Structure 1
Amino acid sequence: MRATVGLDLVERARALAPLIAGEADAIERQRRLTEQVVSALIDNGLYRALLPQNLGGAEAAPEIFMQMLEEIAKADASVAWCLGQNSVCAMIAAWLDPDTAHEIFNTSPGILAWGAIAHEARAVDGGYRVTARWDFASGSRQASWLGAHVRIIEADGTPRKSADGSPEVRTILFPATSATLHDVWEAIGLAGTGTDSYSVENLFVPERFSAFRDVTSALREKGPLYKLGTSASYSLGFAAVSLGVARATLDAAIALARGKHQSLQVKAMRDNNAVQGLIGRTEGNWRAARVYLYATADTMWRDLTATGEFSDAHRTAVRLASTWTIHQSAAVVDAAYHMAGATAVFRSNPFERRFRDMHAIAQQLQARDTHFEDVGRTILFS
């Protein structure tokens, strides 16, 4: 598998949009990505956007990753969400020994998925043993490997502590065939992500298939991307997905306004001053959100590549910009949806699904209102 680099990833994503849009109904109906879409993403190297170059990945800068997801999200939010999730999961390769990472990511299809932090793994000779169930594993239906973030319990039952005294959390990895997938994802939006649950029973995980994810001192790869870490990469990626959904919804509203005549009105919607004003304001809101997100990412990335440090100030800036962008994108989608009137409620038109997808995104971890509290606290006490 060859590496794809730079804007080539964005161009490939844009070229795949017609295929993805054509598969969107099937994705929604089946509640998982279709084989055609997964194969196209693999063949075009998009799952490898954040994989180290030493493993044949692109190791792409955040801006490229964000643009790639934005283009995919314009065609279908579920595909973009899964691609974002699986791509960031692949960053853990930077914490694994090269042979282990090669085994996971260079054996087809080389896709990793995981869910939320939960449960414990017991330390045993040569590794860990675990019985547990985890939720919210977006992209798990196309994954060949699964992971879990677990607290480590020593053989005598005492919690293992990190250097700062907090519970030690490791990410363990295991073949998807070792787990049982539970079909539970019946959701209002992002229906095609297959964000199901998975469980293992008395599973042994060798030590080499575990890592201290997002711990800089444990990195084996030295590229600046991995000092950014997975948490901030999720924030930027999912904010970009929200921008793509909002852009597609607003474009659909603009196209509708150019031709639709409202009930009992002689003029088209585009001749209505209220519609014109709403389009202008909503367009401005979308552009402002996008510029803010990308400018924040660019400033952070330039400093990170120059200094080798992902500072607390940049961590706060990324969190604020990502959360605010998701909320602004939801507002753009709401405005476009209401502008479309009754047209928007029919599944045959390009509003209803995007409305549901956007509000599913806005309910996720990356969009929590508590992020604003965290940022505000940092500002007030700094």
Structure 2
Amino acid sequence: MTGTLARPTTDALAAAKAIAPLIESEADAIERDTTITKTVVDAIARERLFWLLVPEEYGGWGLGIVDSLKVIEEISRADGSTGWALMANAFSTGIAVGFLDPEGAREIFDQPTPGITAGMILPTGKAVRVEGGYRVTGRYQFASGSAHASWIGAGFVVHDAEGNPLLTETGDPVCRVAFLPREKVEFLGNWNVMGLVGTGSYDYAVTDVFVPDKHTMDTFSTTPVRPEPVYQLGLLGIGVGGHGPVALGLATRALQEIASIASVKARPGYEGVVGDSVMFRREFAKYEALVQSARRYVYDLHGEAEAAAAAGEEITLEQRARLRQVTTWVQEVAGEVVGFAHRWGGSQSIRNPSALGRCTRDAAVATQHLLVDPMTLVDAAQEILPGYVRATA
């Protein structure tokens, strides 16, 4: 490691658990400021959690996907906005180091403090091919974690000098992602939402900025430049997968909150506290089982896919479909579990500041993300259904 960040003596998940109480104490300020507070950013950086998927030689943890997901779940349990922003930073950083030109990756990450990335990698901008790189222009949204990021991603379609989009051999537009130093980006604010408020998912603009080839990558590349198995999951596998543990963290926190509330809450019609009622206990057991089963499905699927890559095997289309399936499904699970907790929480669900109220709002917003739209389940079914079709011949 060439950087100055010291390797913690513990593992990454233990480090996340150690700073979780600090994050919980800062959650109200994070929501008020619409971004992670400096205190929390410094704690996450000190434990190097921004660089979960970055190889050790660049100052990162060099973790696999499952261990990284578990860290995101724990931070999301402490605060949904912080977990979401960390997920956006750590997983876009993993994508960058796994698919950028090695020279460009070294310039960004092999530094005293490795780069932190954020931003929109979908090709909503446009760029003109010039000698040595691209001139990029575009307006982007949802740059979660951008307030503390040092490099900002900007996806674009490549155009020629006459303004015509360049096409691949299959007739599709040529799409790439650029990573720009944050001083080259104009931040536009515009983050006023009901949930995940503290993610700092600001709009931003890039105007005719030159980006060298080494700081760009193919948007839809399936061939990583690094040998670590985690990168075989691809841009989509890594970028989508991080949403699952955020949902798990929100659901777990909601169960923790309602268990505490119900243990002391009295209501008319109940003989004792709400938590002693048969109705509450039955529902709690049901929804707790739902979280436990969802967690195992998330981690089992990601672990199996990464194990296949480590063994030199191809990750199958069904495995990739199931990764999409579980990440969307777990959002629905979180919504149901948080809804259960909200209903039993009574006035403690609706007063501000309220951890349970924040879980309710965060879970509602998380389900609206493009990458977990219900249509992804339809797409996943295409590869999953054949395994259930009985041969009749």
Q: CA deviation at 1:366?
A: 3.0
Are residue 140 (structure 1) and residue 146 (structure 2) matched? yes
Q: Read off the aligned partner of 2:186 and give its amino acid letter.
A: T
Are residue 354 (structure 1) and residue 353 (structure 2) matched? no
Question: SS state of the match for residue 136, structure 1?
Answer: strand
Write the deviation string for residues 284-308 of structure 1: whole angstroms up to 9, x where unpaired: 1111111111111122222121124
Q: Percent identity?
A: 31
2:60 to 51, 57, 62: 57
| C-alpha contact 1:3 1:53 (8 A) present in aligned 2 | no
Are residue 94 (structure 1) and residue 92 (structure 2) matched? no
1:125 to 127, 131, 137: 131
Write the deviation string for residues 151-199 of structure 1: whole angstroms up to 9, x where unpaired: 1112343322224331111111111101110110101100001101111
Question: SS state of the match for residue 174, structure 1?
Answer: strand
| C-alpha contact 1:120 1:150 (8 A) present in aligned 2 | yes
In structure 2, distance between residues paired with 1:302 and 1:72: 25
In structure 2, distance between residues paired with 1:167 and 1:3: 43
Are residue 221 (structure 1) and residue 226 (structure 2) matched? yes
Partner of 1:169: 175
2:320 to 315, 320, 336: 315
Moved more, 112-121 or 185-194: 112-121
Matches within 5 A, 1:182-221: 182-217=188-223, 219-221=224-226
Question: SS state of the match for residue 210, structure 2?
Answer: strand
Matches within 5 A, 1:19-34: 19-34=22-37
Moved more, 366-375 or 226-235: 226-235
Question: SS state of the match for residue 67, structure 1?
Answer: helix
Write the deviation string for residues 175-232 of structure 1: whole angstroms up to 9, x where unpaired: 1101110110101100001101111222111122111245133x32111111112321
Following TM superposition, the consecutive aligned residue runs of length 4 or more in structure 1 with deviations greater than 4 angstroms are 2-7
Matches within 5 A, 1:266-305: 266-305=271-310
In structure 2, distance between residues paired with 1:49 and 1:109: 12
Structure 2 residue ranges without an equivalent (≥5): 388-393
1:241 to 238, 243, 246: 246
Question: SS state of the match for residue 209, structure 2?
Answer: strand
Q: Read off the aligned partner of 2:253 and give its amino acid letter.
A: A
Write the deviation string for residues 135-160 of structure 1: whole angstroms up to 9, x where unpaired: 11111111111111111112343322
Partner of 1:335: 340
1:372 to 365, 377, 382: 377
Moved more, 285-294 or 89-98: 89-98
Partner of 2:264: 259
Q: CA deviation at 1:57?
A: 1.8
TM-score (ref. length: structure 1): 0.94
| C-alpha contact 1:32 1:192 (8 A) present in aligned 2 | yes
Matches within 5 A, 1:67-82: 67-82=70-85
| C-alpha contact 2:59 2:114 (8 A) present in aligned 1 | no
State the superposition RMSD in angstroms.
1.9
TM-score (ref. length: structure 2): 0.92
In structure 1, distance between residues paired with 2:65 and 2:114: 23
Q: CA deviation at 1:381?
A: 6.3
Q: Read off the aligned partner of 2:180 and give its amino acid letter.
A: F
Aligned residues: 381
